[in-house]
Amino acid sequence: MEIAIIGSGYVGLVTGVCLAHIGHTVTCVDNNPEKVRKLKAGEVPIYEPGLEPLMHKYSKMKRLNFSSSIEAATKKATVIFIAVGTPSKKNGDADLTYIENVARAIARNMDSYKLLVEKSTVPVQTGNRIERTVALNLPAKFRRGNKCLVEFDVASNPEFLREGSAVEDFMNPDRIVIGVKSRRAEQLLREVYAPLKARLVVTNVATAEMIKHASNSFLATKISFINSVAQICDRVGADVLSVAEGMGYDRRIGRAFLNAGIGYGGSCFPKDVDAFVRLAEKSGYDFKLLKGVRDVNEQQKASFIHLIEDKLWIIKDKTIAIWGLAFKADTDDMRRAASIDIIQALQEEGARVQAFDPKAMDNARHELKGVKFCADAYAAAKGADCLLVLTEWEEFKRLDLKRVRGLLRQAVVFDGRNFFDDKLFVDLGFEYHGIGRGRGAHAS
Ligand code: NAD
Ligand code: UDX
């Protein structure tokens, strides 16, 4: 099939590469000329495990092409995925400017049947908006009064991939959700995904959009729930890791997304929870549960900072080592990373921060000022009064902790991800503080 993807970021590029991998011919479009130049030159602008070799393979075979022209891509393809950003506005609403721009541009270049597919995460009802926008922007020859003289469909196909395992998630999805209004659209999307042999959930457009809202918000709820449990664990001497394990064996609950830590970050959960709260508000429902989820997430960062203040005493002029800046491991993405809020709060109190992240330092330089970015994890630890583990990079587990102990001025570690076995540190004479491990600030 001839497919176009508009927006070649984390989702669009992975989608394009994976659709080429399963046999389609794909054009990935982006309006950022620098990004398109890099992609054409074979440079992958993001870090995503497994993406680069596939991108090179299918670019060479010409099954994967890059372009800055929506016009050409629209003319060539029948199925057009929209994968542009839908960032938060100040009031929490999703900003759909990029979606509208793309819908207009596609409409203006339509000359035959097209299926426009929402891949971006959008508020429920956006499908209707896109449909209207396309109808209003068709070339004059294809419009008579309210009638469109060229057929098109708008479908919803929300994406559930996670950064850091995006290729794997795309190729082996738990389910593929397809929201359609016509048999034709359903058939086309079934054809697109047939090689994956995945479970399909076929429904109407609004329901598919709602599945995405509900899924992301539910996962965020799981995280805030376990973070709240962790708070109590610290106060009563229970261990949240064992609590999560004990809960997780119950198949009705499951162990996934019960890792307590410094709160969820990234480009999706914070914005998608905000957008769902706003959508509920506009529909006349006060989504108190989800507001609570958001509050707990903010508190979690604040409580981590309080723990550091409590144990370090004076923050001013202390040197703080940071291992990990990305919002999670295996990505270079810094969008809404918890590390940003934590580092900025400590800097405001006068701390000096020296940090290392295996992949996210280039992006972090744009987000964080006054941080000393170090060549490796040892350099970050050198002379510091404590060490903060903010991202769970597997390679940190291979570090020589004895050497780290010798480099730190004070052997105090705050593990914001409960990533390390606390005994490893304690046996080496470190003071170790995890999240909800029952030995935290308030443990009896
Ligand atoms: P991104 O910012 O990495 O990529 C968006 C791309 O769209 C950018 O490269 C931008 O230049 C391009 N773009 C913007 N306007 C354009 C236009 N008019 N024409 C062509 N290109 C244009 O964003 P992302 O992380 O890939 O997210 C995209 C959407 O997918 C969002 O709605 C997001 O919520 C959703 N989503 C993201 C993830 C994720 O893990 N990142 C997962 C599921 C869903
Ligand atoms: C998320 C959704 O999982 C994915 O389905 C959707 O398509 C995009 O948004 P992503 O943001 O890439 O994916 O990463 P995810 O693994 O979900 O983690 C999000 C945040 O939650 C990270 O900051 C992570 O550290 C945090 N998290 C995750 C926890 O704090 N605890 C957990 O148990 C799981």
Tell how far the Cα of 434 is from the centroid of ligand 2, in angstroms.
20
Q: What is the DSSP string of 416-442?
A: TT--S-HHHHHHTT-EEE-SSSSSSTT
Q: Whose C-alpha lies nearest to ligand 2, atom 16?
A: 162
Q: Which residue's CA lies nearest to atom 13 of ligand 2?
A: 162
pLDDT value at 111 more than 80: yes
Catalytic residue positions, numbered:
268
Nearest atom in ligand 2 to the alpha carbon of residue 166 is: 12
Q: What is the dihedral of CA 219, 343, 353, 229, to 10 degrees?
A: -50
Distance between CA 49 and CA 330 in Å, rounded?
7
Find the DSSP H helices in 316-441: 338-348, 361-367, 377-381, 401-407, 422-427
Rounded Cα–Cα distance for residues 83 and 103 (Å): 11
Ligand 1: nearest atom to the Cα of 32: 11
> Is the confidence at residue 441, as pLDDT, over 60?
no
- The model's pLDDT over 9-63, given as tens digits with 9 standing for 90+, comes to 999 999 999 999 999 999 999 999 999 999 999 999 999 999 999 999 999 999 9
Give me the residue spans of the domains in the chain: 2-203, 210-444
CATH domain 2-203 topology = Rossmann fold (3.40.50)
pLDDT in tens, 208-230: 999 999 999 999 999 999 999 99
Strands (E), 302-399: 319-323, 352-356, 371-373, 386-389
Q: Please tell me the distance from the alpha carbon of residue 52 to that of residue 46, in angstroms, as a whole number.
A: 9
The pLDDT tens digits of the residues spanning 162-194 come to 999 999 999 999 999 999 999 999 999 999 999
3-state secondary structure of 292: helix
Q: Of all atoms in ligand 2, which is nearest to the CA of residue 266?
A: 11
List, for residues 97-106, the tens digit of each pLDDT value. 999 999 999 9
Q: What is the mean pLDDT of the chain?
A: 96
Output the CA 315–ligand 2 centroid distance in Å.
30
Distance CA 292, CA 283 (A): 19
CA 67 distance to own-chain centroid: 25
Fold match flag (2-203 vs 210-444): yes
Per-residue pLDDT band for 289 (boundaries 50, 70, 90) equals very high
Identity of residue 25:
T
Considering every ligand atom, which ligand is closest to the CA of 5?
A: 1
Q: How many CB atoms lie within 10 A of CB 221?
A: 17
- Between 286 and 438, the more confident residue is 286
CATH topology of domain 210-444: Rossmann fold (3.40.50)
| pLDDT given at position 443 | 39
CB–CB of 161/268 below 8 Å? no
Residue closest by Cα to atom 29 of ligand 1: 120
Q: How large is the average pLDDT for residues 105-111?
A: 96
Q: Which residue has the tokens 């992006």?
A: 363
Region 425-431: mean pLDDT is 95
Q: Which ligand has an atom closest to residue 162 CA? A: 2
